[in-house]
Amino acid sequence: MRILLTGGAGFLGSHLSEHLLDAGHELIVMDNLLTGRANNIAHLFGKDGFTFLNYDVTNYIHVRGSLDYVLHFASPASPDDYLRYPIRTMKVGAYGTHHTLGLARAKKAKFLLASTSESYGDPLVHPQKEDYWGNVNPIGLRGVYDEAKRFAEAMTMAYHRESGVDTRIVRIFNTYGPRMRKKDGRAIPNFINQALAGEPLTVYGDGSQTRSVCYVEDLVEGIYRLMQADYHEPVNIGNPSEEMTMLYLANKIIQMTESESEVQLLPNAQIGDDPKVRQPDITLARKLLGWDPKVSPDQGLRWTIEWFRAN
C-alpha cells in the first residue's frame, strides 16, 4: 500500500514509519520538524519505498499519485511543547486535520487520526472508556492541545458521516521508549535523564497524580491493527496494567538506574489542569483488534534507560 504519514519524524511517527516499511509498504513521511527530528528517521533514508517531505501540513497538501492511507500524526504532543507552541498546536489539529481529511477524500484513501487520552481531560470517570465525553477546560493551558484534538475527532467524524471517508480514530495514552527527546519535557525522559545525570527528579505537585504507560512497540502494533479494522469511532490504545503515581515512577527510575538522585517536588502551576488520574479501558481494542500490550513497564523502562545511556 502507498501511505502518507504526517508527523513521521516524531517519536511515535518514526517507530510507526519503521513498522510500515518493514511490512513492505510504500511510505511518504511529511513533517516540518517543529518537534520531530530528521535524526529519528535518518536510518530510513535510502530504504526502498521511503520518501521524506519537509512540509507543514497546516498548508494545503498536494501529493502526486494514488494513496491507500493517510495517517495524521503531526502535532506537538508533550505538554512542554504545546505550551511553547500553542497556536501551531491548534493549527495542526484544525487546519492539518482538515487538509489531511480533504486529501484522503480526494484520493479515496483510508484515514486514521492520532488522537489522545487528553480528549478525556482531567477525567471524572476512571478508568477511561471511549464513551466518556471528558472533562476539559477549553481555556486552560492544556486546552490548546485537548481542544485541537477534540476538534480533530469531530472533523474526522464529519468527513466520515458527510463524505463517506473511511476513517479511524485512535486515542493514544502515555507512551514511552527510545527516540524520545532528552528534553522532551515528559515525565519518563525527564526522570531517566535526571537520574542518569545525578540531578534531582522533578516531580510536579505532590506526585500523587497517576499515569499508565505503554511501550512504543505495543502501541504501534495496536495502531497497525486499527488501521486495518472496519471501525470508525475512537479506540483507546494504551497499557492499563500498572497505573502508577508519578512519585512511584520517579523512585522506580532512581532504583533502576542505581542513581544517587533524589526526588524534588515542584509546583505544577505551569502545566495547568494536570489530569489527576489516567488509565485506559482497552476492552474495545482487545475485542476489536485482538490486541493486548505485551511489554511490562519494568521491561520497557529497562530498554528505554539502556537507550538513553547509549545515546
Specify the amino acid at residue 98. Answer: H
How many beta carbons lie within 10 A of that of residue 70, not counting itself? 29
Specify the amino acid at residue 247. Answer: L
Q: What length does the chain have? A: 311
Say if residues 248 and 199 touch (Cβ distance below 8 Å). no
The verdict on 137 binding ligand UDP (CB under 6 A) reads: no
Binders in 243-262 for ligand UDP, by CB under 6 A: 246
Say if residues 170 and 235 touch (Cβ distance below 8 Å). yes
The verdict on 41 binding ligand UDP (CB under 6 A) reads: no
Q: Which of 186, 152, 177, 169 is nearest to 239 (CA)?
A: 177
145: annotated active-site residue:
yes
Of 89, 209, 239, 257, the one binding ligand UDP (CB under 6 A) is 209
Say if residues 21 and 44 touch (Cβ distance below 8 Å). yes
Of 135, 137, 202, 245, the one binding ligand UDP (CB under 6 A) is 202
Of 84, 157, 268, 307, the one binding ligand UDP (CB under 6 A) is 268
Of 203, 219, 223, 285, the one binding ligand UDP (CB under 6 A) is 203
The verdict on 271 binding ligand UDP (CB under 6 A) reads: yes
Look up residue 186 and give its three cell numbers. 515528559
β-strand pairing of 69-72 with 110-116:
parallel
| Span near ligand UDP by CB under 6 A; candidates 23-31, 93-101, 120-128, 185-193 | 185-193
- Output 108 or 183, the one with its CB closest to ligand UDP: 183
The verdict on 128 binding ligand UDP (CB under 6 A) reads: no
Q: Which of 302, 271, 239, 250 is nearest to 145 (CA)?
A: 271
Of 50, 52, 73, 204, the one binding ligand UDP (CB under 6 A) is 204
| Residues of this chain that bind ligand UDP (CB under 6 A) | 78-79, 174, 186-187, 190, 202-204, 209, 211, 246, 268, 271, 274
